[in-house]
Amino acid sequence: MVVRDPKQWIVDGLLLSVVTVWGFNFSIIKFVYRDINPLAFNALRFTVASIAMILLMKWRGISFRVDPEDRPAFLALGLIGHSIYQIFFMLGLERTKAGNAGLFMALTPIFAYLVGVAGRRERFSPSVMAGIFLSLIGVSVIVLFGSAEVSFAGTWVGDLLMIAAAVCWGAYSGGASRLASKYGAVRLTVLTTVAGTAIIVPVSAPWIVSQDWLSVSLPVWLGFLFATFGGIVYCYFIWAYALGRVGVAHTAIFANITPIIALLAGWMVLAEQLSMPQAAGVVLVLTGVFIVRALKPLPIPEE
């Protein structure tokens, strides 16, 4: 069911670049919120990203055609993975602590794998699930003993929104694997992003109109460009490509490396100290990733 890349390390390197961008994206989006309303920001960046993706797709001469039986799946993935996920993620990030957000988003690989199993993209493996849980424990240790503030007092709305976002992105990752293999990463990413944008923009219209765009500072606009072309265009293409090449579990588990990237960034940029519990958490995350990466997906028996 999954096409294995003979040079799997290339896919791993690409996934590492994705989680690196996403690791910095948390802080950059928080910074952008200083001048731009979250919903207005998200609507604009998805509009710009969609236009850029369409131009790229046309430049490469890739067909927009989708088999009629797959159109509902594309629409559903656009709704779940882009519209609903982004609304939950943006509003949740605004209403909870950075540490809470990182902790709850670490649930994504679990949801993605279970959706992949339910959709018969991969067969359930206790070893894979053990690797995912091990990485989740590692993320929890890194976050709880880190400098990012973690507090569950008065943040329950934001926490629930982040959990809902993790469910949505997990559902998108698990559900997108089949279409990524059939249509390729570019077509899948462009069409689902455009479908999601078509819903995000009308819903966000009141905030787009009320936003004072002329007061947005240049550094915030630079952050907007990073979050748009880095966090969406580049990362979404690579994520879809990996789903089609190495499967749901292998791809989704890399999301839990994001806190390690944030930890390294704090050490290099802010001279933050790495505690022993955090070092142990890093080992747990990497061990879990290695377990999932090393295991080949079990074949789905034909009915």
CA–CA distance, 101 with 104 (Å, rounded to integer): 5
* Cβ-proximal residues to 5 (8 Å cutoff; 6+ apart), any chain: 11, 245, 246
pLDDT in single tens digits along all 303 residues of the chain: 444 444 678 888 899 999 888 877 877 887 888 899 988 999 999 999 999 999 998 898 888 889 999 999 999 999 998 889 888 888 887 777 666 676 677 777 877 878 777 766 677 778 888 888 888 788 777 767 765 555 555 667 878 888 898 889 888 888 887 788 788 888 888 999 999 999 999 999 999 999 999 999 999 999 999 999 999 999 989 988 888 887 777 788 887 787 777 666 656 554 556 677 777 877 888 787 777 777 655 444 433
> How much is the pTM?
0.76
Per-residue exposure over 74-92, b if at least 16 CB sit within 10 Å of its own CB, e if not: bbebbbbbbbbbbbbbbbb
Domain spans of the chain, in order of start: 8-294
Nearest to 160 by CA among 101, 223, 241: 101
- Return the HEC string of 235-279: HHHHHHHHHHHHCHHHHHHHHHHHHHHHHHHHHHHCCCCCCHHHH
The whole-angstrom separation of Cα 130 and Cα 137 is 11
User: What is the spatial distance between Cα 122 and Cα 132, in angstroms, rounded to a whole number?
Assistant: 15
**Cβ proximity of 226 and 28 under 8 Å:** yes
Helices (H), the chain: 8-32, 38-59, 71-78, 85-95, 98-105, 108-118, 126-144, 156-183, 185-210, 218-225, 235-246, 248-253, 258-269, 276-294
